[in-house]
Structure 1
Amino acid sequence: MPEPLEDPNTGENVTWVIFLISYWGEQIGQKIHKISDCFHCHVYPYPESEASRADTLNGLVSQIQDLSVVLEETEQYLAQVLDKVVLALPSWRVQVQKMKAIYLVLNQCSLDVTEKCLIAEVWCPVQDLTQVQEALRQGSYKSGSSVECFVQRIPTLESPPTLIRTNKFTAGFQSIVDAYGVASYQEVNPAPYAIITFPFIFAIMFGDVGHGLLMFLFALWMVLFENSPSLQQGSNEIWQMFFKGRYLILLMGAFSIYTGFIYNECFSKATVIFPSAWSVATMANHSSWSSAYLATHQSLTLDPNVTGVFRGPYPFGIDPIWSLATNHLNFLNSFKMKMSVVLGIVHMGFGVLLGIFNHVHFRQWHRLVLELLPEVVFLLALFGYLVFLIFYKWVKFSAADSQVAPSILIHFIDMFLFTSNADNLPLYRGQVPVQMVLVVLALVSVPVLLLGTPLYLYNQQHRRRVNSIPPAATVEQEPLLEGQEAGNSVNATKEDVESGGHGPDAKHMDFSEVFMHQAIHTIEYCLGCISNTASYLRLWALSLAHAQLSEVLWTMVMRNGFVGLSYVGGVVLVPVFAAFAVLTMAILLVMEGLSAFLHALRLHWVEFQNKFYVGAGYKLCPFTFSPDPWE
């Protein structure tokens, strides 16, 4: 046959070969049929006369036409049915999903003793309790049930799940905290404080007006068009991460603009917002700057000790004249290093003080005295004193005293050695005795932190045994999450989590286990105060790296690519600026932005949250048909 036809058995297109066979006799015909069956041939009768063949052909053509009409009408009918199904399919899908979800929950219920009703034990927020009761009442009424549904609070010893309601602004910050660990029930949540501290710490490492403005505009575009389906339904996972954190990126860009003005950097270039506080004319009139002196010195240093040169502090940020100074890097290194130490100690101290809310809420008054107080004394006596020395030296010594200004680092080392260096003058009178007292206070706070809580718990248990008072059972907790009385809160605190549930009210307290966990906490805190303070120097390192990369990119691309003020220079500047923009986006915004983000994340997880946050809880998973019921 000239065209291939579909094989009815396999459905494949096959080229068919037709044989016309004539035979005489019935026996030969039977043999031919058997041979045809062996080769899986299809045998069709062939009329002998021309008229019969024409009639058969006409019959087949009419049959094909009838079948074509039937198939066409069937397809039209199916298309109409499918058009109607398409309209009803979304509602059918919702109904099926709801039925599956409802039956899944019903299968988790237990039968009553009479086997006439189902009992479901669930956690329910107090704020939503009235809505649940109303929904059950409406369900009983609409279903026509003779048994009314009701809600009854039951006592339980289990720790309730944690429910933290978020909106589209706070969801990104809460997800950062939850990635470290979900808060224990009624524990202090670090997310509200991270709304300010996280973008600010990021901006310290990413401080540049130009880069921060680009990041801010990108996040602003996502915020303004956040209801666009194309942005919400993007399949790219990386894009979804950026979109969900759009408000976080918005604040990171805004804070970077602020710190960029502090550093006075915009694409690595200083901006002259206010006139410089240095007077070069006065220095030129200085006696040491004679003509011969100027001829032999290519670079000169502005001396703030010369009268009339330094006219006062710059109104805001870094003076732009520092960008021309040869000691620009030394000045900024000293400034940013001290700033990193100050901000780090303040940040850690704030984290330690947040533990007050946990202790007060869970009525652990002994931990306020035996843990929080020694921690504050240890931190402030050593590193709080270091912050005091930094500010005192800034205020006490001027440019005239720059040659005799003592070294803070040497004083801090001598503080632990209980000695004084004769070559390093004291900062104030009576400095050595004060430092000795502070070191003694810090050392005394260590055994208090180590032994205070275990001995107190052991004494409490011993008193109960002597007085024949049975240990108090754990307070019964109703499965409610908000609006509970203070006496009914579950004490899911750091002490209970670390001791495996053997809190001060536990029935059998393992003293050795409590002491071991307290020893680990003491060692971790004391050594952490040192290592965490050093860890905050990453603020200085990342800020320096970002500024130097930005300056190198400007010098290597823009400055070297600029060929002059001519038509040729204008044409060349187009690809040069394109390369500069691409490299700025790829290296300084994406790579450096991710690097600063990860370091800010580490400072919050390790250095800040470990001072008060356990994160040993679990989230409430509410029954809902939507992906996120609390958004």
Structure 2
Amino acid sequence: MKAVYLALNQCSVSTTHKCLIAEAWCATRDLPTLQQALQGSSSEAGVSAVVHRIPCRDMPPTLIRTNRFTASFQGIVDAYGVGRYQEVNPAPYTIITFPFLFAVMFGDVGHGLLMFLFALAMVLAENRPAVKTARNEIWRTFFEGRYLLLLMGLFSVYTGFIYNECFSCATAVFPSGWSVAAMANQSGWSDAFLAQQPLLSLDPNVTGVFLGPYPFGIDPVWSLAVNHLSFLNSFKMKMSVILGVTHMTFGVVLGVFNHMHFGQWHRLLLETLPELVFLLGLFGYLVFLVAYKWLRVTAASAASAPSILIHFINMFLFSSSPTNRPLFSGQEVVQPTLVVLALAMVPVLLLGTPLFLHREHRRCHSRRRQQPDKDTAGLLDLPDTSLASQGSDEEKAGCPGDQAEAEFVVSEVFMHQAIHTIEFCLGCISNTASYLRLWALSLAHAQLSQVLWAMVMRAGLSLGGEMGVAAVVLVPVFAAFAVMTVAILLVMEGLSAFLHALRLHWVEFQNKFYSGTGYKLSPFTFAVEGE
């Protein structure tokens, strides 16, 4: 009853003081339901209620319908900011990208399986009254994100198979692509030689030593190598850069749909195209170098393979290194051309949109002087000033409609565009480096898992020579290992990877196309929130 009177207090009284007038937002698809409800209540109360659709120039609220599966992902996006009306919603893409980027930092088959089973248990028990009515805040947090945890665990199992790590231990699902016997036969290793050499090297150039790549993921033989960490660091660092550039490029492309929907066609040529050229011309080229070197450099030429880092530095210095041979013919011409092309996009991005808007503003006022007696509401042909457009205030200020005339300040438009240009150009550098957190967190998780296994489980297995003694020792050892695995690797490391994945989506991805300056539609309802 209190909610009813609170809603009635927000209504205005008509001039005849015989009825109440309420202005509210309603989704178009819900209008028939609203009219049907009003007709039913009017017939019971004996007082008719009339619904009129009125024009409004205010920005409508945002209504995004979710279900139990998508609610947690939409909550991640809304925590950054509610999208403007009809703006591209990043939540559908976050359903895939968020668990995947989390799994890149949390890749382990065993840990991912534990997280998946925990989330699956909550999903299967979600309709039980005791589970739904629990008041513990920590439990409610996990329960409301159960589908998010489910996908995070599932993707972690997938990346764990790629890393070939299960509680930090490698598994030989398929035969290894490296043959020690072939190396021993070709090199003539004797028992005395093997006894004197603590480390042995496998040469892939020797016939029969390298049989081919592992069918899926990292070859388990790398877990025995002393350069295991160097190999994984190189792989994960390059993978992080590739994923980062791809993720940011996808964000810029999503901005195209915003511009097309709101009719801001000038932004496609003056903002989106320069942004893509700048991003792909510099860091897209870096991804190309990584992929090209992976495909072209073989084991026979690995010792003399050129350095991508030196090439990338020389690219900005407009120089070349005589000791670092080119990766492909014409590289000395391609690299300076890409740098010049990327730098040429900066003034286009900085001056293009402000000059275009300034020209349209002057054309608008020129038409007004030529036709002073006509309504000036629709003189400017810019779609940015239409009723449905949700463009920036600077663009709408150029030629106002039936509301009070707003001054078009060129300096404010230039300032706004300058901030956007500096943020994007510097952000391409800092954001690409920011994606290296995928490599760092993955390395930290793998090392913590390895230390926990070596210091607890392996030490427990080595205690006691007899089976009975070992079995007794393993009971407290496994209990300690299980507790520390859940507390450190699942909870602490999982929370850390979650926060870093959250930052990558909010800062590096969503700021490429998503403003988040809208507000939610909050309809009047008697339903309990969360049900």
TM-score, normalization by structure 1: 0.80
Q: Percent identity between the aligned chains?
A: 68
Q: Structure 1 residue 111 and structure 2 residue 10: aligned?
A: no
| Partner AA of 1:152 in structure 2 | H
| Partner AA of 2:324 in structure 1 | N
CA distances 1:525-558 after superposition (whole Å, capped 9, x unpaired): 0000000000000000000000000000000001
2:431 aligned to 524, 527, 532, which one? 532
Structure 1 counterpart SS, 2:186? coil
How far is 1:566 from its partner?
1.4
Tell me the distance in 2 between the aligned counterparts of 1:265 and 1:231: 34
Q: How does 1:535-546 map to 2 (within 5 A)?
A: 535-546=434-445
| Partner AA of 2:180 in structure 1 | V
Equivalent residues of 1:340, 1:540 under 8 A apart = yes
How far is 1:500 from its partner?
9.4
Tell me the distance in 2 between the aligned counterparts of 1:202 and 1:303: 36
Q: Structure 1 residue 580 and structure 2 residue 478: aligned?
A: no
Tell me the distance in 2 between the aligned counterparts of 1:298 and 1:502: 76
| Partner AA of 1:623 in structure 2 | F
How far is 1:295 from its partner?
3.6
Structure 2 counterpart SS, 1:467? helix
How far is 1:169 from its partner?
0.4
1:120 aligned to 4, 14, 22, which one? 22
Equivalent residues of 2:385, 2:396 under 8 A apart = no
2:390 aligned to 489, 492, 516, which one? 492
How far is 1:286 from its partner?
2.1
| Partner AA of 1:134 in structure 2 | Q
Tell me the distance in 2 between the aligned counterparts of 1:459 and 1:565: 89
| Residue number in structure 2 paired with 1:323 | 223
Deviates most, 328-337 or 500-509 = 500-509
1:398 aligned to 298, 315, 333, which one? 298
Q: State which structure, 1 or 2, has the greater radius of gyration over its C-alpha atoms.
A: 1
| Partner AA of 1:104 in structure 2 | L
How far is 1:294 from its partner?
2.9
Structure 2 counterpart SS, 1:581? helix
Structure 1 counterpart SS, 2:59? coil
How far is 1:565 from its partner?
4.5
Tell me the distance in 1 between the aligned counterparts of 2:518 and 2:397: 17
| Partner AA of 1:525 in structure 2 | F
Equivalent residues of 1:208, 1:256 under 8 A apart = yes
Tell me the distance in 2 between the aligned counterparts of 1:254 and 1:503: 51
Tell me the distance in 1 between the aligned counterparts of 2:188 and 2:336: 46
How far is 1:233 from its partner?
1.6
How far is 1:363 from its partner?
0.2
Q: How does 1:535-574 map to 2 (within 5 A)?
A: 535-562=434-461, 563=463, 564-574=465-475
Q: Structure 1 residue 599 and structure 2 residue 504: aligned?
A: no
Equivalent residues of 1:185, 1:490 under 8 A apart = no
Structure 1 counterpart SS, 2:64? coil
Cα 1:239–1:500 change in 2 (3 A) is farther
Equivalent residues of 1:213, 1:257 under 8 A apart = yes
Cα 1:343–1:597 change in 2 (3 A) is same
CA distances 1:404-458 after superposition (whole Å, capped 9, x unpaired): 1000011001001111111101000110111111111100000000000000000
Q: How does 1:37-436 map to 2 (within 5 A)?
A: 99-145=1-47, 148-287=48-187, 289=189, 293-436=193-336
Structure 1 counterpart SS, 2:135? coil
How far is 1:229 from its partner?
1.7
How far is 1:230 from its partner?
1.7
How far is 1:465 from its partner?
2.1
Cα 1:360–1:287 change in 2 (3 A) is same
Equivalent residues of 2:385, 2:395 under 8 A apart = no
Structure 1 counterpart SS, 2:306? coil
How far is 1:627 from its partner?
2.3
| Residue number in structure 2 paired with 1:621 | 522
Q: How does 1:20-31 map to 2 (within 5 A)?
A: none
How far is 1:166 from its partner?
0.5
| Residue number in structure 2 paired with 1:520 | 419
How far is 1:467 from its partner?
3.0
Cα 1:308–1:472 change in 2 (3 A) is farther
Q: How does 1:496-515 map to 2 (within 5 A)?
A: 496=393, 499=394, 502=397, 507-515=406-414
How far is 1:237 from its partner?
1.1
| Residue number in structure 2 paired with 1:36 | none
| Partner AA of 2:286 in structure 1 | L
Structure 2 counterpart SS, 1:463? helix
Aligned pairs, number: 518
Tell me the distance in 2 between the aligned counterparts of 1:204 and 1:211: 13
Structure 1 counterpart SS, 2:97? helix
Equivalent residues of 2:361, 2:398 under 8 A apart = no
| Partner AA of 1:603 in structure 2 | L
| Partner AA of 1:131 in structure 2 | T
Cα 1:472–1:449 change in 2 (3 A) is farther
CA distances 1:28-67 after superposition (whole Å, capped 9, x unpaired): xxxxxxxxxxxxxxxxxxxxxxxxxxxxxxxxxxxxxxxx
Equivalent residues of 2:259, 2:268 under 8 A apart = yes
How far is 1:489 from its partner?
5.5
Equivalent residues of 2:113, 2:157 under 8 A apart = yes
Cα 1:610–1:403 change in 2 (3 A) is same
Structure 2 counterpart SS, 1:605? helix
Equivalent residues of 1:351, 1:608 under 8 A apart = yes
Tell me the distance in 2 between the aligned counterparts of 1:415 and 1:391: 18
Cα 1:140–1:387 change in 2 (3 A) is same
Equivalent residues of 2:398, 2:407 under 8 A apart = no
How far is 1:289 from its partner?
3.7
Tell me the distance in 2 between the aligned counterparts of 1:216 and 1:535: 28
Quote the RMSD (CA, aligned, Å): 1.9
CA distances 1:346-387 after superposition (whole Å, capped 9, x unpaired): 000000000011000000000010000000000000000000
CA distances 1:452-486 after superposition (whole Å, capped 9, x unpaired): 000000000111222336896489xxxxxxxxxx9
Equivalent residues of 1:457, 1:504 under 8 A apart = no
Equivalent residues of 1:212, 1:253 under 8 A apart = yes
CA distances 1:202-232 after superposition (whole Å, capped 9, x unpaired): 0000000000000000000000000112211
Tell me the distance in 1 between the aligned counterparts of 2:466 and 2:288: 53
Tell me the distance in 2 between the aligned counterparts of 1:302 and 1:392: 25
Tell me the distance in 2 between the aligned counterparts of 1:603 and 1:623: 35
| Partner AA of 2:488 in structure 1 | I
Cα 1:589–1:371 change in 2 (3 A) is same
| Partner AA of 1:130 in structure 2 | P
Tell me the distance in 2 between the aligned counterparts of 1:472 and 1:214: 65
Equivalent residues of 1:268, 1:554 under 8 A apart = yes
Tell me the distance in 2 between the aligned counterparts of 1:193 and 1:577: 40
Cα 1:611–1:505 change in 2 (3 A) is farther
| Partner AA of 2:108 in structure 1 | D
| Partner AA of 1:316 in structure 2 | F
Tell me the distance in 2 between the aligned counterparts of 1:188 and 1:253: 28
How far is 1:488 from its partner?
7.0
Equivalent residues of 1:362, 1:489 under 8 A apart = no
Q: Structure 1 residue 590 and structure 2 residue 491: aligned?
A: yes
Deviates most, 290-299 or 592-601 = 290-299
How far is 1:102 from its partner?
1.6
